Amino acid sequence: MKPIHLFFSLCFLFLIYTLSIYLTPLTVAKMSTIDSEKAVSGRIVWQKYNCQSCHQLYGLGGYLGPDLTNVVSNPKKGERMIKQILKYGVKQMPCYNMPNDDYKCLIEFLKSVDASGLADPRKYTISKTGMINQK
Ligand code: HEC
């Protein structure tokens, strides 16, 4: 094959490849089930009841209770359990007689937090000497 033929074949392949990239529709994660307005108010509810003093989001916050970043999508927990815990309290956690609106907004807020990532995406092991080895 002559160099000029090779050049034009590569140009042609480049154009085909570029076209295929631009024509492929973007796949964006759907957040349609989250009511973003309620999620914004839910953040205020989260602050009003000071959940952060005992709970973490993305690993940051108080350490009396567990991290709640992914509590909504956890198959063993989820919305129903959260409702019961808020209503009746558990161990050191007080019960909250919050209005239904506050509850709904709080759930939307927790859903939006959950959709935004993982509490701790790192995978690590702790060695005998107590050092943390990140994988
Ligand atoms: C005084 C500290 C404290 C505050 C404030 C608090 N919690 Fe808790 N919460 C806890 C503790 C401790 C637990 C764990 C109880 C257990 O061991 O079962 C817990 C558990 C939970 C759980 C279950 C989590 C799991 O993975 O089992 C949810 C959901 C939860 N809290 C939500 C909230 C929300 C929402 C707020 C704010 C309205 C809040 N908590 C405020 C202390 C607190």
Compute the mean pLDDT over every residue in the chain, rounded to the nearest whole number: 89
Instruction: Provide DSSP, 69-106.
Output: TTTTT-TTSHHHHHHHHHHH-BTTBPP----HHHHHHH
Domain boundaries, the chain: 36-117
For ligand 1, whether the C-beta of 123 sits within 6 Å is no
Tell me the pTM: 0.75
Q: Name residues whose C-beta falls within 8 Å of residue 123's C-beta, 6 or more positions apart in sequence.
A: 134, 135
Distance from residue 95's CA to the centre of ligand 1 (Å): 9
Burial of 2-18, coded b for 16+ CB within 10 Å and e otherwise, reads eeeeeeeeeeeeeeeee
Per-residue pLDDT at 109: 96
Ligand 1 pocket test: which of 41, 43, 45, 54 has the largest number of ligand atoms within 8 Å of its C-beta?
Answer: 54
Taking only the tens place, the pLDDT of each residue in 35-69 is 889 999 999 999 999 999 999 998 889 989 999 99
More confident residue, 128 or 43: 43
CATH number of 36-117: 1.10.760.10
